[in-house]
Amino acid sequence: MKKYQAQIHRCFRCGYCKFPTDYSAFNCPSYNRFRFDTYSTGGRLWLTYAWLKGELPWSEHLAEVLYTCTTCKNCTEQCPMKFAPDIVDWIIGARSDMVEQGKIPARIKRFLESVYSYGNPLKIPRTERGAWANGTKKYSQGDEYLFYVGCLGSFDENGQKMAKSLVEVLKAAGVSFGILGNDEECCGNEVHALGETELFQTLAGKNIEKFKQLGVKKVITLSPHAYNVMKNQYQGMGYSFDVYHYTQVVSGLIKNKKLKTKDSEFKVTYHDPCYLGRYNKVYDAPRNILQGIKGIKLVEMDRNRVDAFCCGGGSGNFVTDYLAGGEDSPARVRIREAEQTGADVLAVACPGCMVMFKDAVKAEDVEGKISVLDIATIVKESIVA
Amino acid sequence: MADIYEALVKIVDKDYISTSKEERYLYGRDPGLMPPHEPDYVVMPAKVEEVQEIVRLANREKIPIVPKGGGLSLTGLVIPQKGGILLDMKRMGKIIEVNEKGSYVIVEGGTTHGALKSYLQKHYPHLRHSIPDSPPIATVVANAVIHGQGRLTQQHGFNSDMVCGLEVVLPTGEVCKIGSCAVSQYWFSKGPPMPDMSSLFFGWFGTTGIITRMALKLYPCKKLRDVMLFLTDKADLVPDIILKLGRTEMMEDVVVSAQPIPLRFKGNFYILAFITGDTEEEIEFKKKMAWNTLWEYFESKDGGFVSLVSEMKAPMMSMPSKETTKFADVSKGGGFEYSGPIAPIEKYPVFVKKLADLAEKYNLFYASSARLIDGGHCMMFSFSYTFNRAEPDSMVRAKKALDEAAEFALENGGVMWKPNIDEQKMMMARMDPNTLNLMKKIKQLLDPNGIMNPGNWEVS
């Protein structure tokens, strides 16, 4: 029996999982969006247990309730019980059972099939993976870092801008690095979160094999999702390497004066990505970058760091978009929260968050009032040649 | 069914109406031990007019309505015993007004205690409300409806005693204001000096109306807070000890805990005295008063204060109390329930003995938390037992223990707090017949079609 099946009945459905630390709002993105208790973590765990016991048959709705979880781990932080660290794994375990039984919603099926066929969830031919790079050097032995770009960085328009900005920043600082281009595989973080264990193993295996062949010792990722999966899932799969999110590297470059930045004058608020913050406790590096650029004033949203409200894009939702629609969609809520700080810029460190917020700014009709910029681009714009 | 769904869609945004098996399953049960029963519809209204229209529809169609807050009573009070419409009130979660000089707040019917606590801390840090030990999703209104208790209950009575105004949708659909707000724009009194009709809605578990707005008294939030722990192994002394603490009129809250594990807890009674103050001098003075009032027990070697480091104090002082919720996982089974009689304080020793006896008889893990109410007029004593949701037998045993505890409490002069429908029947069987008849008349008058949370307080 899988571990989650033996433990899942332990949820008391107390509801702490719905809140941030100060209880000021609902901090579970899917519960805030849909408001039925079924869409909270406690609700999901009870429904899953009912399904396992045979009290509830599988249905498209049951599966959608499970798949609207963004795996943001707010519940893990707030649950008072000893099993709190395992909650999200239980949800992933239930998804995995559904995948094994071929009982998954159409949107999830399309996502997974696309990764299987195209190597990315956006259904873009894998031969175009390196097209954004415009001559960026491919990784070769001896380079200090491999820059792992990821699916959104390779294929999404905004993600590509982030990737290009980071390349310029790294070059300006004299960092020795290269990319994999068309040889890069999807990192598999979302595939893992969606419960497709076998496909995840395949993707991770291919990446690890490549890293091994090339003798990669250090990886920089654009996405916190890739950072997370390489740091926490790849290790122990046959090859060890160090992995850094780009904000960790760039903050070091600024601190060590490898980058000279000019004065800027704007007010920024920063959104903590779940896979960087709650998953890996990287809260300071992005803030250190912003505060390291003279003239930038960093203001915090009410919900920040461990209490940051998820953009709604995790667990493949940046493609499947289950949480979109309406004023309560997490990204729109977050944009309003950012706007309340009076910031000119909402800074992000994740291409998934970027996708979600770019859409939300339009939906909220505040394009002229607040800009969504990634930290790599903010740094690039500030560099003195 | 289809007609009713179509009618509901005309009242509430269809995104907030569900007839799906999944929502019906979840809203058909609570974390306690009462048998499930599913609603036919789960509906989340956003404003009072929607609640009114739903109530009118239910009257036309003669279908039940069950209003729900956090659903954490554990005694099945919002399990729709006869199906119908379950109204999840949490979309009505606004904090409408804080009247600072009048020291009250007006909230909507689905505002959570967590949200109110957070709002006051941010905007009115010098004011507070009585926060219950239940998780933060518990709603302010539903907690008052069940006569909940909180951190200020020792000083100010049940949380329902702190209410100072209501807006209610009556079972026939009219919106009715109760208290000073019925004649004034101020919500400072729930009744006096007029007839107090607020009691038509507290303790009735939604059988007499749906509260859509409520005013709640706020109290000074002092700058400092501390807790003292007095330990004794003599249950017979506990009533006098907690009464003496209460009668100093200096304690924020007085709570007694008893449980068999960890081993150091077994046979001991942990009396927590919470104090607040604006200065260190005030805190020290109150501590000294507590010491002085209990000095005789120290001299007779019957008990003493235990020194606490800040790491030990933090979980004791957290509001709401995460420690209380953790009890559900003691048996790694996801469940606990407590039978919580409101009872004379003098009954503490026999209650605590019965608590352990029943645990042994039914092979259960137990705990109890007793809270002094209103300076010492009575206490809430919880007979708490854990169970394992994956082991049906443990659930049966826990339910039997709780039923016996309820019978015992009633025989010993207690009155069940938030009674489940079995306990309601036990109480009604003992109730003065004229009182029972009055309840029946009130229900019939207010709810002629019997649509409101049927199954609860059903007088035959």
3-state secondary structure chain A: CCHHHHHHHHCCCCCHHHCCCCCCCCCCHHHHHHCCHHHCHHHHHHHHHHHHHCCCCCCHHHHHHHHCCCCCCHHHHHCCCCCHHHHHHHHHHHHHHHHHCCCCCHHHHHHHHHHHHHCCCCCCCHHHCCHHHCCCCECCCCCCEEEECHHHHHHCHHHHHHHHHHHHHHHHCCCCEEECHHHCCCCCHHHHHCCCHHHHHHHHHHHHHHHHHHCCCEEEECCHHHHHHHHHHHCCCCCCCEEEEHHHHHHHHHHCCCCCECCCCEEEEECCCCCCCCCCCCCHHHHHHHHHCCCEEEECCCCCHHHCCCCCCCCCHHHHCCCCCCCCCHHHHHHHHHHHCCCCEEEECCHHHHHHHHHHHHHHCCCCCCEEEEHHHHHHHHECC
Provide the shortest C-alpha distance from residue B120 to chain A (in Å): 10
Task: Determine what percent of chain B is predicted with pLDDT higher than 90.
Answer: 96
Closest to A163 (Cα-Cα) out of A190, A140, A139, A181: A181
* Residues carrying CATH 3.30.70.380, chain B: 224-319
Least confident of A186-200, B130-144, B324-338: B324-338
**C-alpha torsion sign, points B154, B129, B164, A14:** negative
- Look at residue B411 and tell me whether its pLDDT is greater than 80: yes
User: What average pLDDT does this structure show over A117-145?
Assistant: 96
> Which chain A residues touch B122 with a CB distance below 8 Å?
24
Averaged pLDDT for residues B29-40: 98
- CATH for B224-319 (3.30.70.380, 3.90.45.10, 3.40.50.10330, 3.40.50.2300): 3.30.70.380
List all residues 6 or more positions away from A271 whose beta carbon is below 8 Å from its beta carbon. Answer: A301, A308, A311, A334, A338, A346, A347, A348, A349, A353, A357
A70, pLDDT greater than 60: yes
Q: Tokens 């003992």 — which residue?
A: B430
d(CA A136, CA B350): 80
Q: What is the dotted CATH code of the domain comprising B324-419?
A: 3.40.462.10
Which of the four CATH numbers 2.70.98.10, 3.30.465.10, 3.40.50.10860, 3.20.20.70 does domain B93-220 have? Answer: 3.30.465.10
pLDDT tier, B262 (very low <50, low <70, confident <90, very high otherwise):
confident
Is residue A304 very low, low, confident or very high in pLDDT (cuts 50, 70, 90)?
very high
Interface contact B332-A326, CB threshold 8 A = no
- Beta strand B163-169 with B175-178 is antiparallel
Closest Cβ–Cβ partner in B21, B323, B388 for A59: B21
Give, in words, the CATH class of A259-382: alpha beta
d(CA B58, CA B210) in angstroms, rounded, equals: 13
The pLDDT score that the predictor gives to residue B8 is 98
B12 touches chain A (CB under 8 A): no
The nearest CA of chain A is from the CA of B94 a distance in Å of 11
Does residue A265 register a pLDDT over 70? yes
Q: Mark yes or no for CB contact B22/A38 under 8 Å.
A: yes
CA A320, CA A322: separation in Å to the nearest integer?
6
Say whether residue A56 is in contact with chain B using an 8 A CB cutoff.
yes
Phi, psi of A231 (to 5 degrees): -75, -40
Q: How far is CA A279 from CA A17, A273, A366, B391, in A?
A: 16, 9, 30, 33
- Average pLDDT of span A85-91: 97
- Name the pLDDT band for B261 (thresholds 50, 70, 90): confident
Model-level ipTM above the cut of 0.90: yes
Residues B329 and A10: beta-carbon distance below 8 Å: yes
Give B-chain residues touching A81 at CB under 8 angstroms: 325-326, 328-329
Domain coordinates in residue numbering, chain A: 3-104, 125-251, 259-382
CB contact under 8 A, B333 and A326: no
* Contact assignment for B325 to A25 by CB distance below 8 Å: no
- As a whole number, the mean pLDDT across chain B is 97
Size of interface A-B (CB pairs under 8 A): 106
- The angle, 0 to 180 degrees and rounded to 10, between the axes of the packed helices A246-255 and A157-172 is 30
Do B95 and B75 meet the contact criterion of CB atoms below 8 Å apart?
Answer: no
Distances from the Cα of B316 to the Cαs of A224, B10, B226, in angstroms? Answer: 37, 48, 10
**Tens-digit pLDDT profile for residues B356-375:** 999 999 999 999 999 999 99
Q: Alpha-carbon distance B312 to A154, whole Å?
A: 51
Distance CA B237, CA B227 (A): 20
Look at strands A218-221 and A371-374 and give their pairing: unpaired
**Do the beta carbons of residue A271 and residue A348 sit within 8 Å?**
yes
Each residue of A268-278: pLDDT tens digit?
Answer: 999 999 999 99
Which residues of chain B are in CATH 3.30.43.10 domains?
A: 2-90
d(CA A94, CA B329): 21
Mean pLDDT to the nearest integer, A145-168: 98
Which residues of chain B are in CATH 3.40.462.10 domains? Answer: 324-419
Contacting residues of A for B44, CB less than 8 Å apart: 35-36
CATH 1.10.3470 fits A125-251, yes or no: no
- Asked if A83 is an interface residue toward chain B (Cβ–Cβ < 8 A), one would say yes
Average pLDDT over residues B273-296: 98
What is the per-residue pLDDT for B1?
67
In whole angstroms, give the CA distance from residue B41 to residue A222.
Answer: 46
Q: Is the pLDDT of residue B264 over 90?
A: no
Question: For B114, which of A19, A46, A326 is closest by C-beta distance?
Answer: A19
Nearest residue of B to residue A326 by CA position? B15
What pLDDT, on a 0 to 100 scale, did the predictor assign at position B394?
Answer: 97
pLDDT of residue A3: 81
- Top residue of A3, A5, A10, A60 to mutate, by most chain B CBs within 10 Å, is A10
> For position A1, what pLDDT does the model report?
55
Q: Which two tokens stand for residue B76?
A: 């099945």
How far, in Å, CA of A226 to CA of B257, rounded?
48
**Chain A CA closest to residue B73:** A14
- At residue B460 the predicted structure's pLDDT band, cuts being 50, 70 and 90, is confident
Q: Is B44 on the interface with A (CB under 8 A)?
A: yes
> What would be the CATH architecture of the domain defined by B2-90?
2-Layer Sandwich (3.30)
Distance CA A230, CA A224 (A): 10
Q: What is the mean pLDDT of residues A238-265?
A: 95
Q: What is the largest CA-CA distance in chain A?
A: 66
Confidence check: pLDDT of A219 > 60:
yes
User: Does the structure show a pLDDT above 70 at A138?
Assistant: yes
> Nearest CA to A349 among A230, A265, A223, A255?
A223
